[in-house]
Structure formats: structure tokens, C-alpha cells
Chains A and B, each alone.
Chain A
Amino acid sequence: GQNIDQPTEMTATEGAIVQINCTYQTSGFNGLFWYQQHAGEAPTFLSYNVLDGLEEKGRFSSFLSRSKGYSYLLLKELQMKDSASYLCAVKDSNYQLIWGAGTKLIIKP
């Protein structure tokens, strides 16, 4: 079956760096997405990786290793507003998005 694994919850300190990991097993691969979702709101797009390597966008970076079925989202200079759930999603061979359960990130002052 298809499976996306990410930690359920993480805690980090304001101003610090946190890395959220995602491992996947899917039927085919057509890209990996990271979304941010605040409680009660719809997800918002953060990043998209289809080739191996690191994609940097401001305070957020996303890394992909297709051979390992692994990605991580790196958040730097954490701010209180970064407290949210972070969803990893993989587009499979049918271009369907397979979603992880999300990682709830708690930022402490």
C-alpha cells in the first residue's frame, strides 16, 4: 500500500531551527509537497520537490532524496506564527496526492 510517515508532534524554541522528516512509499513518484496548515484553516503551499536536493525559500527549505524515499522540511529562525501542522504529500504515478497525517509543530518562547 501507499504510506507517508511523519512525526505526530514536535516542539521547538522561538528563534531556533527545526527539521520535520517525511518518509514515503508510494506507487510511483511525481513530486513531493509540503503544506502548512493552521488549526481550522485550509493548507497553504510551502514547497515542491521533484528532483533530489535542497530547495530554499526564505526561512523554509525542503530536501528530497528519491532513492531513500525521504524528505525533510527545515524551518529556520522560528517564529511563534510558525506553530501549525505541516503536511507532507506525494503525487503518485496517477498524479494523485497521497497525504501524510501531518506534524504538529509547537513553538515555545
Chain B
Amino acid sequence: GAVVSQHPSRVICKSGTSVKIECRSLDFQATTMFWYRQFPKQSLMLMATSNEGSKATYEQGVEKDKFLINHASLTLSTLTVTSAHPEDSSFYICSARPARGHTEAFFGQGTRLTVV
């Protein structure tokens, strides 16, 4: 299957700082990328959907000014957690879909964010 690379896999940051997470599709062009957050023992919660070259669509309850998403190219999307707080500590996962209507989305490895 297609490969999606997410970096970093783990990050620890101080409260109040910002963290950037990258999601790259290595062998296909991703017209759409999804960002999820997963708390322990819970399912994936969609945070936002980003389409290349346009603004991301955020799910209800997700602060767009706090979770900045950039999808500047067909192979790269970034999520920046600004002014991170301990409650932002979570597992963040991106997925990428090769083309509109394609059945399967491919997941990155996930990023474990710990805010201290």
C-alpha cells in the first residue's frame, strides 16, 4: 500500500510552546489529508480535513487558531499545536487519501505529544 510518513513520532514540549507535526505522502499525491486525535482507550476523533491549496475544514469544537493546519503541497500537510497545554497531550494521527472518492485512506505512524 501507499506510504504516509509522520514526523516526529514522539515529542515532549513545555507548556506554552508550539509544536509542528508533519505528514508526508511518500509515493502518491494526497489531495486530501485528515488529522485525528486519539486519547487513551478512545477512538479516533477527526479534528480537521485539509485539501491541498485551500483552508482546512475544522470539526466542531476544534479551535482553528490553536491547531493550525497547512496543506501547501500535494505531498505535505502540517499540524501546528500553538501555545500547547497539558490537556493537548494526546496521540495525533494523520491520514492521506490519494484521490477524491478513493476507498482507502492511509495512515501515518502517529505522533505522541506530551506537554509538561
Binding site for B on A (CB under 8 A): 31, 33, 40-45, 48, 50, 87, 95-97, 99-102
A101 in contact with B43 (CB, 8 Å): yes
Contacts of B105 in A (CB 8 A): 97
B44 in contact with A87 (CB, 8 Å): yes
Closest residue of chain A to B91 (Cβ to Cβ) is A40
**The stretch of B12-20, B79-87, B108-116 that contacts the partner chain:** B108-116
Interface membership of B35, Cβ < 8 A:
no
B109 in contact with A43 (CB, 8 Å): no
Contacts of A44 in B (CB 8 A): 107
- Given the known A-B contacts A40-B112, A42-B93, A45-B1, are A97 and B107 also in contact in the complex, defined by CB atoms under 8 Å? no
Interface membership of B54, Cβ < 8 A:
no
- Given the known A-B contacts A41-B110, A42-B108, A42-B110, are A48 and B103 also in contact in the complex, defined by CB atoms under 8 Å? yes
Interface membership of B46, Cβ < 8 A:
yes
Q: Considering the chains assembled together, what is the distance between the CA atoms of A69 and B6 in angstroms?
A: 34
B107 in contact with A43 (CB, 8 Å): yes
Contacts of A96 in B (CB 8 A): 46, 49
Which of B1, B42, B44, B91 has the most chain A CB atoms inside 10 A of its CB?
Answer: B44
Contacts of A99 in B (CB 8 A): 43-46
Q: Considering the chains assembled together, what is the distance between the CA atoms of A58 and B106 in angstroms?
A: 21
Question: Could you mark each residue 86-107 of chain B with 1 if its beta carbon is under 8 Å from any beta carbon of chain A, else 0?
Answer: 0000010100000001011111
Q: Considering the chains assembled together, what is the distance between the CA atoms of A96 and B93 in angstroms?
A: 16
Which 10 A-B pairs rank lowest in CB-CB distance, beginning with the nearest?
Answer: A42-B107, A42-B110, A101-B43, A99-B43, A99-B44, A42-B93, A42-B109, A48-B103, A43-B107, A102-B43
Closest residue of chain A to B59 (Cβ to Cβ) is A96
Contacts of A41 in B (CB 8 A): 109-110
Contacts of B46 in A (CB 8 A): 96-97, 99
How far does the Cβ of A44 sit from chain B's closest Cβ, in whole Å?
A: 7
A48 in contact with B107 (CB, 8 Å): no
A45 in contact with B108 (CB, 8 Å): no
Q: Considering the chains assembled together, what is the distance between the CA atoms of A31 and B104 in angstroms?
A: 10
